[in-house]
Structure formats: C-alpha cells, structure tokens
Structure 1
Amino acid sequence: MMNAYELQALRHIFAMTVEECAIWIAPDNTTAEWQAWENGEKAIPADIVAKLLELRKKRQTHINALISRINNRIGNNTMRFFADLAAFQTVYRDGDYLDWKVYQSVAAELYAHDLEHLC
C-alpha cells in the first residue's frame, strides 16, 4: 500500500512531472488519474505501486554500490550528470528513460551529501 504523500515523494525523488509519470510509469492511465492518486482521491493501483517500489529499490542499490566504492577509493570523487536522455544513452546504450531518472536521482543524492562532485 502506498499513500498519496509517498507517491508524490517518489515522483519528486526522481525529478519527474506528473505528465512524465503518466507516460513512463503509468502508460495505461492519464495525467488526470495520476493527479487523482496524488490528491488522495483514488487508490493507487497495485501495479503502479510495485513499479515505483522497484524503482526505489534500484535507486537504493545504486547508492549503496557507489558508497561502497567511494569508501574504498582514493582521490577524485566525480560522477557524471547527464543533461538529457540522449547524453545518458551515449554512455548507457541500453538505458531507458527510467534508468536515466534513477541514475540522475542517485547522482543528485550523492552530491547533496557531498559524497560526489558532478561533471
């Protein structure tokens, strides 16, 4: 179960608009439906909750792996930050839109905690 506040928080963690979420996370639904979920007017479907929790898990796995590498690294702590999906896909050719959003969220989180510099 996920409530409207948790849904909003995850959307913000991945720096996505309501419209982007309706396209990439809930393609069988509309922007208006996503807004109804965020407003607590409608229950969030189980498949949407599962997809978001999987993205959150993927993000945490990336953060944990990078922190482990940071703790064992000597020297420069620099992580790439990709301005757009196309730039991300030049490095991560199999990455899709949601992979890019997870990556950017991880980069922003590590930068926020002064664990990485962005380039």
Structure 2
Amino acid sequence: MPPADQPRVIATEAALDFLAEIRQDHPDILFHQSGGCCDGSSPMCYPASEYRVGETDVKLGEIGGVPFYISGSQYAVWAHTQLIIDVVPGRGGMFSLDNGRERRFLTRSRLFSGGEACPLPPAVAQS
C-alpha cells in the first residue's frame, strides 16, 4: 500500500466482529477516542444520536463503516501514529456501548515510519 493510503485508524478482526455485535442492538453509532478522564483513554462507542461531535474534534476515518473521532488536542499528539482498535476481556467505559459485554475496545498504536508520515493527507475537522 502506498504511504499516502495509510489509514489513520484501523481495527482488528476481533474489533470488527465485536462492532458488528454491538450494531445489532445499536445500528447508528460512532467512536470517540477518550481523552483520559473518567474512563481512561479508551475508544468510546456511542449511539450517534446521543453524542455531539465537538467543533475541534477530528475525524480520523472509519472502522467497519463507523466514524472514528478524536479531539483536536489529542490529534496533535497522535498525528504521527496509526491507531489500531482491538478488543480485550474486561468492562467497557461507563457510557460506552461496549460496557456490560465482558469485552471492551482498546486502542493500540504504531508510529508511522519513514515516508509514511510525510504524505499523509490532513485529517478533517468537524464543523
């Protein structure tokens, strides 16, 4: 894959399967990478109609057809990093749709290397 085509956020097969399970109950959802407050720094999954995307939030991409956002300040820190959404045993964030399912989403990451980081297109801020 050419460097410019590197997505900023991807998901493991386990995460995509878990996401499909959640969408059976909640078809229209979105992700927001938590900033470390109440629920640590977990990727949080919300019904799209119940979460207001902020003016400075940045859409990193989509996983499994679900939009994935991060705050502008966090994006500045993670700009040279690919987020990899995975699933591990445990409880999800208090307000996240993975809560109560005995599995939770987890963000792993890897730094873009060499020529990958330079040609990445800018992420789009929400308006």
Fold shared by both chains (TM-score > 0.5): no
Kindly indicate whether structure 1 or structure 2 has the higher relative contact order, using CA contacts under 8 Å at least 6 residues apart. Answer: 2
User: Aligning the two structures, in what range does the TM-score lie when normalised by the shorter sequence?
Assistant: under 0.3
Structure showing the higher strand proportion among its residues: 2
Greater C-alpha radius of gyration: 1
Using the size of structure 1 for normalisation, the TM-score is: 0.28
